[in-house]
Structure 1
Amino acid sequence: MMQTKTQSKRIRQLASSLVLAGLFISSHSLIAQDYKPVEGKIMTKWAEQVNPKSPLPEYPRPQLKRSQWQNLNGLWQYAITNAAQDAIPTKFDGKILVPYPVESALSGVGKTVGEDHALWYNTVINQKNISSKERLLLHFGAVDWRTDVYVNGKKVGRHEGGYDPFSFDITPYLQKGKTQQISIRVWDPTDKGPQPRGKQVSGPNGIWYTPVTGIWQTVWTELVPETYIVSTKQTPDLDASSLMVSANVIGAQNGDQVKFVALDKGEIVAQTTATAGTTTNLSIKTPHNWSPTDPHLYQLQITVLRKGKQIDAVSSYFAMRKSSLVKDSKGITRMGLNNKPIFQFGPLDQGWWPDGLYTAPTDEALLFDIEQTKKMGFNMIRKHIKIEPARWYYYCDSLGMLVWQDMPSGDLGGNTWDNHPGISNGLNRDKQRSAASEGYYRKEWKAMIDATYNFPSIVVWTPFNEAWGQFKTVDITKWTKNYDPSRLVNSASGGNFFWVGDMLDLHNYPDPAMPDPEVFGKSGMALVLGEFGGLGLPISGHTWQQNDNWGYQSFKNQDELLKRYSQLIQRLKKLIPLGLSAAVYTQTTDVEVETNGIMTYDRKVIKMPEDKLHDLHAPLYQEEN
């Protein structure tokens, strides 16, 4: 698998060649002159590289790869109608560039939809005739929020969830001939509904941002046999030197088997065969451990066999790593990787873009933020109340970046928030959610864990941020821990504290602080600083708006910013011997009116030099912990 930037480039080139060979979109969708980005906002340098004929052409699912696929990104027709309309429009408002959200500049539309309206998409694709033993799947990386899918005017199904991938088998809805019509209806209430929605609000202000409605990740079709692998589950057990594996196979018959083959740099290191639908183990002798300094990846080939004959095959990858709590030489509980203490330090990363909002303009842009974070000397990223496309995690896996994954918040309000951890059970501080609200949360949290489970870079799940919609904390935390015991669980980053989970997380601005080690040091939890910093510096010509930008503490120039940041790091260093196990600095980039990023929102200015940051951060990992 990819280990270097050079190999990353080769993979992107290969993915692009597959796209050029297999992309079939209607002729009206390929007219580049029909498209131009919406003007009036700052843009990243990658905006100029967006090709309206094939935006984001890379293969979108690195953990389950096949060769027969078609990327449907490009110019589609769109219409914004009354929310009550459930019939496919006969007239459309114009063209929209999929997969950029309709509110974004790169969509070419730049309009707000809101809860009183529905957003419709329409396109016609060319699809070669398929045999009676094949199925055509229509995949969506993510669509926010309620999606109804139609093929040739007939409704295929509905999906609710703004962050998880979903698919439909559209084979029964195909008509004779090569052309097939695909229509999509999306309804998204943003902050007017109880569903998870992260930082989106209908009236953006302060730390709350522009709504994201509709398709915001790649749309694609995939040709599969009648019996096919729909997903896999891969769990490394470093202590047992094994990988627990299983495959979910659709259409399996009695006697069908699944063969798993693990490879290291192309050489087979383990293989086993199991009955379809069962779990088995691959013995990985003398495992090469994955870590931020050595992000070693193994390849994995999965094949469905029927009487010895190959029916379906996919390729994937895995890593041998363990995320757990450990004791240091002084008996202090620490966050551990591969049974050793490791101080985890990284930025709060919100994954927003001035031109694409939730959607990075190009794959190179998606990779850029991770590469820069690595160059700055961070070994971790806290992905803040957003789920990224699969390729983002793929790059974290490949480059060696630990990830704390937040659940996108929703249904805010109604909490009594005590920002300073206490000792009470906190039952009076849990929000009382409706049955519908709780149902959306649980369904989408499970779906998001399932979708990202196989990425080894993810070492922490965070169900709640602060007290934003925090409810049934003990129950949700225990469920998460039981559902995935291979990772640590941070029950509520900076939120109301309950005696549950693996970490006690404090937020403090701007200076570093930590939960009192005298009170909490013997709790058996790791003590972490989930947010601090927020040092602001607006750079003229690189801000979302000209005036009224803010940070938690603002500075006049880059020298002042670096001096203050250096003071924070020196303070942070002193907390580590006391028991601090991790810290998160706010934040990677500016986001809309927030100017407290290390980089500007357009990524064109890095406010503090990477080499100086790297040198400042290096001693943090050398402390005795």
Structure 2
Amino acid sequence: MTTQKLMLLFILAICFSLSYSQAQKIFISNTFNRTCTSLNGKWQYVVDAYETGGMGGMPIFRNYEPKDKSDRVEYGFTSGRTLWVPGSWNIQKPELNYYEGSVWYRKTFNKENISKDKRYFIYIGASNYKTTVSLNGKILGKHEGGFTPFSYEVTDLLKEKDNYVIIGVNNSREADYIPAKVTDWFNHGGITRDVKIIEVPKTFINNYFIALDKSALNFKTKKIKGKIQFAGSELPKKANVIIPELKIDKEISVNEEGDTEFTLEVKHLELWSPENPKLYTVTITAGSDKISDEIGFRTIETKGKQILLNGKPVFLKGICLHDENPLRKDRTNNIEDAKLMLGWARELGCNFLRLAHYPHQEKIVRLADKMGMLLWEELPLYWGIQWGNPEVLKKAKAQYTEMINRDYNRASSIIWSVANETAPTEDRTKFLSDLADYIRSIDDTRLISAACKKDQEADGHPDSVYTYNDPLMEKLDIISFNEYLGWYGGFPEECRTKSFKAGLEKPIVVTEFGGGALQGFHGDSLTRWSEEFQEYLYKESIAMFDKIDGLAGMTPWILVDFQSPLRQLPEIQDGWNRKGLISEKGYKKKAFFVLKEYYESKGR
């Protein structure tokens, strides 16, 4: 490295250190029902291919522009180079299709009627993967994780005119990230979800956790337990929790030393379920702040080999889903995307979705509440994670905290998953056990699972029994596994000779099975990639899994074809994973109707 380059990096490091603000990071829930200014739309951008954060010795977030004809500036934002936010840069510009690195976004805006009695935050729904956020030349903070929301306070920096927010996003893949280097989905880069300026009182309700107490489920009078979190220096003395339909208006004393907890006793409570997705308007007031939400009340637990929803057995008629709209080839980021995905799942006969393999947009979770669709949510703790690295465990806990903060009050979300397809090693099992314990410590209202790998067939067993002895299963409420017999090894008819044994009195959910098919390609049932092969595989797989003792549900892989650089068979895959029951054009394959018929046979 030359002396000139070393000096450049040294100057940039100094600029960053002088401008970095360790602003308090406050999680703000329910941004849909708060006063806000949307920053969505066209943003100008600069590609930072060498990932220096600056060009010509000038940090990009400083927003340098030539002052006169003699001034030297070696980068620039222009209205002629723009990207839509939210959206991935890969699908917007052909030259950025497979780009992995840094892009800096700029948005200029005015903010009228700034009040001295208010606080202001910039909120980002998600950006992949490492993000640096600045406003008016000052760095607010840096965030790691591609799928969870975060915010920074901008109260002291916001102006009525000529504000500029500059956000740097880097989607490079690294071994100590979550996910790690290799995934079987497309690495969409950029600001993929909404950006807002949120306006709140000086002291405000930043989060709340409200759920039905399952210990009182069988009593006529039920209990709703909750906790309120405040942000601000002068907390109010009182808060009110109001549920008009239940004639509840309870005043509670605010705990000035921390979170404020409360219990509500209610009669004639209508429970939330797929058949009856009842939501109540819940309003919390405290001081000058007021926030409302639509919340459903339900319990979820296990008993023996059953999953109980509101104390009654439920069979999870599910399907896996990626957070991608194949028609646009982009991450989902609006309510129309959510309606499309849930509409297809409802047509299939599902009451359950596995949101794979990372947190999906909040809009689909809220729509699932309204439609009565149960959800499995997870982090991308997937292939190649550095299980022995304590810093990676910290990242997992941080990302799970952000997801739980966002979705705790959603009745549809019933399962947190801690991993997918991970080999049982000592480091991995300790990592995931610690994570499961951590999740239970902050949310005991949901079940915990993980998509595990099977052992080999029992030697010499006459019934070809697959066993499941993963030590992680002791930590899980539900035993889940992926099984691709007939696709990755063997032929579909071999499913007739196989059976499964877990060795634990717990419910079982088959979290993945299936095979690829190019929609419109036809052949006989042994012609690989044909719709007929996939149809035959589904028939044999469903018959095999339906015999499992303790089967409580399934989520075949997957609802829709999705993009993946790992899938490059010409004229068949062409960069798409073809295991979907629906093509990227929205056309249903023959296997769709096989699964639909099976779910219809299971009843409501």
Q: Structures share a fold, TM > 0.5?
A: yes
1:239–1:263 distance in 2 versus 1, CA, 3 Å: farther
Where 2:513 maps in the other structure, the secondary structure is strand
2:71 is matched with none
2:201 is matched with 225
User: Could you give the per-residue CA deviations for residues 324-351 of structure 1, whole angstroms, max 9, x where no partner exists?
Assistant: 0024xxxxx2111111111112111122
CA contact (8 A) 1:386 1:408 kept: yes
Distance 1:108 1:296 in 2: 45
2:8 is matched with none
Following superposition, the deviation at residue 378 of structure 1 comes to: 1.3
1:123 is matched with 107
1:178 is matched with 161
1:77–1:501 distance in 2 versus 1, CA, 3 Å: same
2:348 is matched with 376
1:273 is matched with 252
Following superposition, the deviation at residue 356 of structure 1 comes to: 5.3
Distance 2:443 2:453 in 1: 22
Question: Is 1:556 matched up with 2:530?
Answer: yes
1:361–1:253 distance in 2 versus 1, CA, 3 Å: closer
Distance 1:259 1:614 in 2: 46
Following superposition, the deviation at residue 586 of structure 1 comes to: 1.0
CA contact (8 A) 1:151 1:170 kept: yes
- Which of 453, 464, 467 aligns to 1:494? It is 453
**How do 1:443-522 residues align onto structure 2 when only pairs under 5 Å count?**
443-467=398-422, 470-472=428-430, 473-494=432-453, 496-498=470-472, 499-510=474-485, 520=503
Following superposition, the deviation at residue 64 of structure 1 comes to: 5.0
1:92 is matched with 77
Where 1:490 maps in the other structure, the secondary structure is strand
- Which of 83, 107, 111 aligns to 2:51? It is 83
**How do 1:253-332 residues align onto structure 2 when only pairs under 5 Å count?**
253-264=234-245, 268-269=247-248, 271-275=250-254, 277-305=259-287, 311-327=288-304
- Which of 184, 188, 198 aligns to 1:208? It is 184
For 2:510, the aligned partner's letter is L
CA contact (8 A) 1:537 1:554 kept: no
For 1:502, the aligned partner's letter is D
Distance 1:432 1:406 in 2: 17
- Which of 133, 139, 160 aligns to 2:144? It is 160
1:18 is matched with none
1:548 is matched with none
Distance 1:214 1:152 in 2: 20
1:136–1:501 distance in 2 versus 1, CA, 3 Å: same
Question: What TM-score, normalized to structure 2?
Answer: 0.77
Following superposition, the deviation at residue 292 of structure 1 comes to: 1.2
1:554–1:401 distance in 2 versus 1, CA, 3 Å: farther
CA contact (8 A) 1:62 1:390 kept: no
**How do 1:534-545 residues align onto structure 2 when only pairs under 5 Å count?**
534-539=515-520
2:555 is matched with 584
For 1:617, the aligned partner's letter is Y
CA contact (8 A) 1:505 1:530 kept: yes
Distance 1:212 1:132 in 2: 39
The alignment yields a C-alpha RMSD, in angstroms, of 3.0
CA contact (8 A) 2:207 2:405 kept: no
Distance 2:530 2:451 in 1: 34
Distance 1:254 1:434 in 2: 39
User: Could you give the per-residue CA deviations for residues 3-42 of structure 1, whole angstroms, max 9, x where no partner exists?
Assistant: xxxxxxxxxxxxxxxxxxxxxxxxxxxxxxxxxxxxxxxx
- Which of 313, 319, 338 aligns to 1:341? It is 313
Where 1:315 maps in the other structure, the secondary structure is strand
For 2:560, the aligned partner's letter is T
User: Could you give the per-residue CA deviations for residues 222-277 of structure 1, whole angstroms, max 9, x where no partner exists?
Assistant: 2211111211111221442222122211115255322111243xx63554433153
For 2:506, the aligned partner's letter is M
Ranges in structure 1 where 5+ consecutive residues have no aligned partner: 1-60, 202-206, 306-310, 328-332, 415-430, 541-550
Distance 1:358 1:482 in 2: 35
Where 1:370 maps in the other structure, the secondary structure is helix
1:451–1:67 distance in 2 versus 1, CA, 3 Å: closer
Following superposition, the deviation at residue 68 of structure 1 comes to: 2.3
Question: In terms of mean alpha carbon deviation, does 591-600 or 613-622 score higher?
Answer: 613-622
For 1:185, the aligned partner's letter is G
Where 1:396 maps in the other structure, the secondary structure is helix
Following superposition, the deviation at residue 62 of structure 1 comes to: 8.8
User: Could you give the per-residue CA deviations for residues 101-142 of structure 1, whole angstroms, max 9, x where no partner exists?
Assistant: 11123x68744442xx42101010121031211122111001
Where 2:484 maps in the other structure, the secondary structure is coil
- Percent of aligned pairs with the same residue? 22
Distance 2:316 2:445 in 1: 18
Distance 2:498 2:379 in 1: 23
For 1:248, the aligned partner's letter is Q
Distance 2:508 2:588 in 1: 30
Following superposition, the deviation at residue 552 of structure 1 comes to: 12
User: Could you give the per-residue CA deviations for residues 525-582 of structure 1, whole angstroms, max 9, x where no partner exists?
Assistant: 2222221223523447xxxxxxxxxx9984534x66545534443444333xx22122
For 2:538, the aligned partner's letter is Y
**How do 1:37-48 residues align onto structure 2 when only pairs under 5 Å count?**
none
Following superposition, the deviation at residue 446 of structure 1 comes to: 2.3
Distance 2:501 2:97 in 1: 53
Question: What TM-score, normalized to structure 1?
Answer: 0.74
Question: Is 1:574 matched up with 2:559?
Answer: no
Ranges in structure 2 where 5+ consecutive residues have no aligned partner: 1-27, 65-75, 217-221, 455-469, 486-491, 564-575
Following superposition, the deviation at residue 208 of structure 1 comes to: 2.2
- Which of 217, 223, 229 aligns to 1:242? It is 223
Where 2:393 maps in the other structure, the secondary structure is helix
Distance 1:441 1:494 in 2: 21
**How do 1:515-530 residues align onto structure 2 when only pairs under 5 Å count?**
520=503, 523-530=504-511
1:462–1:71 distance in 2 versus 1, CA, 3 Å: same
Distance 1:515 1:256 in 2: 63
2:464 is matched with none
Where 1:392 maps in the other structure, the secondary structure is helix
Following superposition, the deviation at residue 358 of structure 1 comes to: 5.4
CA contact (8 A) 1:64 1:315 kept: no
Following superposition, the deviation at residue 497 of structure 1 comes to: 4.2
Following superposition, the deviation at residue 100 of structure 1 comes to: 0.5
1:255–1:380 distance in 2 versus 1, CA, 3 Å: closer
Question: In terms of mean alpha carbon deviation, does 508-517 or 394-403 score higher?
Answer: 508-517
1:356–1:518 distance in 2 versus 1, CA, 3 Å: closer
Aligned residues: 506
For 2:401, the aligned partner's letter is K
Following superposition, the deviation at residue 405 of structure 1 comes to: 1.0
1:73–1:121 distance in 2 versus 1, CA, 3 Å: same
For 1:99, the aligned partner's letter is P
Following superposition, the deviation at residue 441 of structure 1 comes to: 2.0
Where 2:406 maps in the other structure, the secondary structure is helix
Distance 2:498 2:231 in 1: 49
- Which of 366, 370, 384 aligns to 1:413? It is 384
Distance 2:224 2:552 in 1: 28
User: Could you give the per-residue CA deviations for residues 282-304 of structure 1, whole angstroms, max 9, x where no partner exists?
Assistant: 22312211111111111111111
Following superposition, the deviation at residue 212 of structure 1 comes to: 1.9
1:71 is matched with 38
1:587–1:158 distance in 2 versus 1, CA, 3 Å: same
**How do 1:595-606 residues align onto structure 2 when only pairs under 5 Å count?**
595-602=578-585, 604-606=586-588
Q: Is the radius of gyration larger for structure 1 or structure 2?
A: 2
